Chains A and B, each alone.
Chain A
């Protein structure tokens, strides 16, 4: 089994501004981390589905980085993000996938030492928890597209039926 851990970081661009830094993190914090970063204009954009899809797409851990308490430019984005993360953590616990695979941190822009500390903390937790037993295998992942593409895949919804047709509807099996 590969020793590499895949980490998805959903981050508010106000909490973490320098996207280019992500490339340096594995070397600086833990070379075993393979980081996939997903920027958000506000952390309130994070949804339970995105976090779950990240785990489905092969993430061993997912972390959400938001701006400091009281500093959200939209007022309550980081508070909403925290509640959503807490809900998904409890769902992961319920399916015994371990809610600790999902973490949440407040970050001030430019606080590089906290970033390093967080990454080392996640890396240490991953060594204890091991790889995500529900993550998609890498060979399948290559066939189905990138992790980011998997997260954003849309489900099917019925188009509105034309009720004026007045045709009888039968089970089409």
Chain B
């Protein structure tokens, strides 16, 4: 799923300040799972915005609506009437959802309420880990179902680097060494000899990160 986190409330307040009628539009798929933009988050954010505007003596009418998916036009259309009643849309979807809503309603200002972070998995409640870079050329079959592009801090295609300790990455001790996992998986599958094949360099854009990113929602973990 796509993992994101809600933008800081001060940034949202600044973005929405010029508007007096605002639709907070949720997305019931990925961002709901990571507690960033589902129905509950829409209601809580709307409540917080109302409190902030009342405190400042500002007139702000907020409408709340959540669609199943903001990245699909058929679902977005459900919000058309609600959009029409407002001046702007604060979308709590990922970047794709925000753009899809903006495309559907070109005469309305569509504001992003979520920072889209990565494609990842729910490791355990409140902890999400990046596991896919969306490189467009998946080679997971070669690596036993563990992606070295997104999970190895050095993005080695012919690993391991030799720096891991007790199965953990030397760049970040909280991160599992991807090559440790690859070797474990291929050994279990009886296919370790496949690693003898040289993997040529991949033509891919430089990464923005020094390894897999992690989003921790402190209030959901113990």
Q: Give the B-binding residues of A (Cβ under 8 A).
A: 47-49, 52-53, 55-56, 76, 79-80, 83-84, 86-87, 91-92, 94-97, 133-136, 155-161, 163, 169-173
Contact: B39 with A97, CB < 8 Å? no
Closest B residue, CB atoms, query A159: B78
Residues of chain A contacted by B82 (CB below 8 angstroms): 156
The range of chain B's interface size is 35 or more
A52 to B43, CA, bound (A): 10
Chain B residues contacting A47 (CB-CB under 8 Å) are 40, 44
What is the distance, in angstroms, from B182's C-beta to the closest C-beta of chain A?
Answer: 35
- B13 contacts A158, C-beta separation under 8 Å: no
Q: How far is the CA of A135 from the CA of B77 in the complex (A)?
A: 34
24 A-B contact pairs sorted by A residue (CB < 8 Å)? A47-B44, A55-B51, A80-B222, A83-B219, A83-B222, A86-B219, A91-B9, A91-B48, A92-B51, A94-B9, A95-B9, A133-B55, A134-B50, A134-B51, A155-B46, A155-B66, A156-B64, A157-B28, A157-B39, A161-B77, A169-B73, A171-B80, A173-B80, A173-B84
Check B90 for interface membership: any CB of A closer than 8 A.
no
Closest residue on chain B to residue A154 by CB atoms: B43
Residues of B with C-beta under 8 A to A87 = 218-219
Query: What is the minimal beta-carbon distance from A139 to any residue of chain B, in angstroms?
Result: 15
Complex: how many Å from CA A53 to CA B62? 14
With A95-B13, A134-B50 already in contact, 11 other A-B pairs whose C-beta atoms are closer than 8 Å:
A49-B47, A56-B50, A95-B51, A133-B55, A136-B54, A158-B67, A161-B75, A161-B78, A169-B73, A173-B80, A173-B107
Q: Is the CB of A84 within 8 A of B219?
A: yes
Q: Is the CB of B42 within 8 A of A96?
A: no
Name the residue among A94, A95, A163 with the largest chain B CB count within 10 angstroms.
A95
Q: B55–A157 contact, CB under 8 A? A: no
Which A residues are CB-close (under 8 A) to B47?
A: 49, 52-53, 56
Binary flags per residue of B119-150, CB closer than 8 Å to A gives 1, else 0: 00000000000000000000000000000000
A134 near B52 with CB under 8 A, answer yes
Q: How far is the CB of B50 from chain A (nearest CB, A)?
A: 6
| A52 close to B222 (CB less than 8 A) | no
Contact of B52 (CB < 8 Å), options: A53, A97, A169, A173: A97
Nearest CB in chain B to that of A87: its residue: B219
- Please indicate the chain B residues that have their CB under 8 angstroms from the CB of A133 in the complex: 54-55
In the complex, the number of residue pairs spanning A and B with C-beta atoms less than 8 Å apart equals: 100
B residues 171-192 near A (Cβ < 8 Å) are: none
B105: nearest chain-A partner, CB-CB = A171
By Cβ-Cβ distance, the 5 closest A-B pairs, closest first, are: A169-B77, A158-B78, A52-B47, A155-B64, A134-B54
Q: Which of B48, B68, B73, B77 contacts A95 (CB 8 A)?
A: B48
- B-chain residues with CB within 8 Å of residue A159 when the two chains form the complex: 78
> A134, B79: Cβ atoms under 8 Å?
no
When A96-B55, A172-B81 are in contact, do A48 and B44 touch as well, CB less than 8 Å?
yes
Q: Are A95 and B55 CB-contacts (below 8 A) given A157-B28, A171-B104?
A: yes
- Does B74 lie at the interface of the complex (its beta carbon under 8 Å from any beta carbon of A)? yes
Chain B residues in 8 Å Cβ range of A171: 80, 104-105
CA distance A169 to B73 in the complex (A): 8
Which of A49, A84, A158, A173 gathers most chain B CB within 10 Å? A158
Report if B162 contacts A (CB, 8 A): no
CA distance A120 to B79 in the complex (A): 48
CB distance from B71 to the nearest CB of A (A): 14
Cα A170 to Cα B67 with chains together (Å): 16
Which B residue's beta carbon lies closest to that of A133?
B55
